[in-house]
Structure 1
Amino acid sequence: MDHSTLTERGLAPFDLYPYNPSKVAGWVFVVIFGIGAAAHFILMFPLRAWFFIPFILGCIGEYYHFTDWLEHWKTDKYASPYLLQLMLILGSAPLLAATVYMTLGRFARALHAEQYTIMSVRWVTKIYVLIDIASFLCQMAGSAMQASSDPSGIKLGQHIVIGGLIVQLIALGWFIFETTILHIRLNNGPTVISLKDPSISWRPTLWTLRCVSVLIFIRSLYRLVEFTSGSDSTLAKNEVFLYIFDASLLSLSVFLFVVIHPERLFRKVRRLALHLADEDGDVMLSEHP
């Protein structure tokens, strides 16, 4: 990640890839992310989970990263395929995180637990998503600057990517803290709506949200360490770390949300709220003289 220059013809005077990628492992993750994207796309319509659109785009980004990598790794002197893959793999995590951030506010409103969040529910989604957009743009701009033929431009691009990763880590770290506090407060004082029906089991959804956040956090920390360590580091030169700390963690996040999709809980709570509202209306009518 600490390469020197690119020539005017888009050729690098060094091998952009320090290893030949494993085709078996690469195609495994092409299939995994392809299935994950398809599963979430299919679930989005019956559940009307439109806030999962960024999550689906993140899955597609990972899918095309591995597809393009397997197709173009042999042309390892050409900057364009390398930079495209770099942008795809860096940009996918912020897209996944955007849906994670949007889930928290929806969860708090569904459980009538607005008073248990550290930040106001009205602002929590807006603040996190704005920070996520800033992180995404930094990583995309920094990745694009890697195509510069000017060594100082390449170095600046690396610093911008690192800055974007740091912003992402700070946001995810605070988000994990905030979801943990919400979990503790809900355990100590369950809301009325969560006590009305035993089938309203909010804990699996909140645990899943916290787990996905931690997985994306670990993946972003790995990327930060990789970028700051340079191209000669052990992380950069060994393909196995890519699969352990990036692909496997993000793919696990994708399928955790398939198994325990937040919108299933939200829809169940909305139906319960409508049922309770109808019952209250019937009671008021029966008591009317």
Structure 2
Amino acid sequence: MPSLETYKGTYLWEYIPSLAAALTFAILFLLLTIVHTHKTLKLQTWYTIPFITGGISESMGYASRAIATYHTGSLVPFLLQAIFLLLPPCLFAGTLYMVYSRIVRAVHGERFSIVSPRWCTRIFVAGDLLCLNIQSTGAGFLPKPKPKLVQIGNAIIITGLVLQVVVFTGFMWCCVLFHRKFRADVAATRRAGEIPWESVLYMLYGTSVVISIRNVFRLVEFITGHGGYLFLNEWPVYVFDGVLMLIVMLVFYIWYPPQLQLDGTESMIELSGEDRASAEDGQGK
């Protein structure tokens, strides 16, 4: 029978993790990751690799929770589930940033974006990486036996989550401004295009709102501390984190943006931050 055990005299868990719930979510995330991987390989949409990595992280996080059911006093599964469940939104967001950049390029709407495509991916991904590093560092303090170190870890994670909310809010505002300006231009010029740019933007809005709700939940969870309701009960983790991240993966799969696929040269531009003109000059030589 599973029971609460201590690690160096300290309880890592406030409850015994549900084996059934953890296995169910681990399998669901694994299945979604597999279908996303298949679509990425089929369409060669390599910019979705961070998204797939986030799905792998979710699956590993819930698998670690399943293992922890019978090892509540073990540090490794506790630490793995804490880290792997904190990081996926940052990885999902990395792909969303690149999707926005590709929308702007695909419709030649660079002048309507408050952040140019050349800088968009770099700025927001850099912010994401900073959030990743901050949150993973804070998670490393959680299993420490000293209460002060746990408080420091919570404070570090809260800082990372606040920054993540700020970065994501900036990204959504960037999308909204571009949407308004470009839609007004389309209406004025009555030009038509084959790329469903507006539906892709709506997909970005939907997934961004869901990720933001999850980030706010985690922020409240760590602000209220280990004695708060969200830490003392398991169901909020599944409702306000697991289910929401499943929705993100489902929505992205259903409204997948293959029309935004760029050629190999442009894909390298996106990763390296070089502008299109530089790449074209290099090809002409």
Q: Is the shorter-chain TM-score for this pair beyond 0.5, marking a shared fold?
A: yes
Tell me how far apart the structure 1 counterparts of residues 214 and 51 of structure 2 sit (CA, whole Å).
16
* Residue of 111, 114, 123 corresponding to 1:127: 123
- Contact 2:9 2:145 (C-alpha < 8 Å) held by counterparts: no
- Is 1:78 matched with 2:97? no
Equivalent residue, structure 1, for 2:278: none
* Residue of 175, 194, 202 corresponding to 1:207: 202
- Is 1:266 matched with 2:257? no
Tell me which amino acid in the other structure corresponds to 2:259. Answer: L
Deviates more, 1:57-66 or 1:117-126: 117-126
- Contact 1:112 1:193 (C-alpha < 8 Å) held by counterparts: no
Residue 209 of structure 1 deviates from its aligned partner by: 1.0
Tell me how far apart the structure 2 counterparts of residues 71 and 166 of structure 1 sit (CA, whole Å).
30
1:202-281 to structure 2, matched below 5 A, reads: 202-262=197-257, 264-267=258-261
Identity, % of aligned pairs? 29
Residue 144 of structure 1 deviates from its aligned partner by: 1.2
| Structure of larger gyration radius | 1
Change (3 A) 1:121 1:236: same
Equivalent residue, structure 2, for 1:65: 61
Gaps of 5+ in 1: 1-9, 271-289
- TM-score, normalised to structure 1, is 0.83
Deviations 1:124-146 (A, max 9, x none): 11000000000000011111122
Deviations 1:182-234 (A, max 9, x none): 2222222229999444x432222110011111111110110010001011211
1:136-175 to structure 2, matched below 5 A, reads: 136-175=132-171
Q: Does the residue aligned with 2:72 lie in a helix, a strand or coil?
A: coil
Which structure has more relative contact order (CA 8 Å, sep 6+)? It is 1
Tell me how far apart the structure 2 counterparts of residues 229 and 102 of structure 1 sit (CA, whole Å).
34
Equivalent residue, structure 1, for 2:18: 22
Tell me how far apart the structure 1 counterparts of residues 151 and 230 of structure 2 sit (CA, whole Å).
19
Change (3 A) 1:20 1:179: same
1:100-119 to structure 2, matched below 5 A, reads: 100-119=96-115
Equivalent residue, structure 1, for 2:28: 32
Gaps of 5+ in 2: 1-5, 264-285
1:156-195 to structure 2, matched below 5 A, reads: 156-190=152-186, 195=191
Tell me how far apart the structure 1 counterparts of residues 81 and 189 of structure 2 sit (CA, whole Å).
46
Give the paired residue count: 258
CA RMSD, 1 decimal: 2.2
Equivalent residue, structure 1, for 2:95: 99
Deviates more, 1:246-255 or 1:156-165: 156-165
Deviations 1:215-271 (A, max 9, x none): 111101100100010112111122221111101111110111111112x2224x99x
Tell me how far apart the structure 1 counterparts of residues 144 and 229 of structure 2 sit (CA, whole Å).
25
- Contact 1:113 1:191 (C-alpha < 8 Å) held by counterparts: no
Tell me how far apart the structure 2 counterparts of residues 117 and 180 of structure 1 sit (CA, whole Å).
10
- TM-score, normalised to structure 2, is 0.84
